[in-house]
Amino acid sequence: MNDLSFGGFLLRASLSLVLVLLTFNPSGYSYVHMVSDGFPNVTPVEAVLGILLLIGWIVFLGATLKSIGLIGMVLAFALCAALIWMIVSWGWVSLDDTNALTWIGLVILALIMAIGMAWAHLYRRWTGQATVDEVKEGQ
C-alpha cells in the first residue's frame, strides 16, 4: 500500500475514532465507565480490554508522534482549539454544553491521530519527497 486513497484515510480515521470512543465517551458506555463502576476491583475481562486499548493507543500515538512530531501535535491541537473557539463564538455550540464540547474534542483527537497515521503518505503526495526513519549506524 504505497499510495493513500480517500478510503485508506477514512479507514484510519474510523479506527482512531473507534479507539478513542471505546476508551471514553460521554454516553456512559466506554472502558472508563466500565472500570470506574467497579473500581478498585478490576475483572480479568477489564484487564484484557485495558491492555488491548493501551496497545492501540501506543500504536496510534507512537505513529502520530513519529510522523508529525510533538510540535506538529501541539500545532494541530492549537488549530483545533482555535476552531472550537470560532464555533463557540459563532454561537453554534455553547460553552455550557460540555457534552457537545466533549464529543467535538474526541472527534478532533481521533482526526489528529488519523492524520498522524497517514502523514507519510500525505507528505509524499503533497511534496513529492519520501520520509524515512533515521537509523543510527553501528547499533
Mind listing the pLDDT tens digit for each residue in 27-71? 989 999 999 988 888 899 999 999 999 999 999 999 888 888 889
Contacts 24+ apart (CB under 8 A), 53-57: 53/19, 53/22, 53/23, 56/19, 57/19, 57/23
- Contact by Cβ (8 Å): 46, 34: yes
Q: How confident is the model at residue 126 (pLDDT cuts 50, 70, 90)?
A: low
Helix-strand-coil split of the chain, %, nearest 5: 75, 0, 25
DSSP 3: S
- Contact by Cβ (8 Å): 26, 99: yes
Q: Of the candidates 62, 85, 84, 64, which has an alpha carbon nearest to the alpha carbon of residue 74?
A: 64
Domain boundaries, the chain: 6-127
Task: Give mean pLDDT, residues 17-24.
Answer: 96
**Tell me: the pLDDT tens digits for 65-117?**
888 888 988 898 899 899 889 999 999 999 999 999 999 999 999 998 888 88
Integer CA distances (angstroms), 8 to 33, 53, 104, in order = 31, 22, 23
Higher pLDDT: 134 or 5? It is 5
What pTM was computed for the model? 0.78
For the record, the C-alpha cell of 135 comes out as 537509523
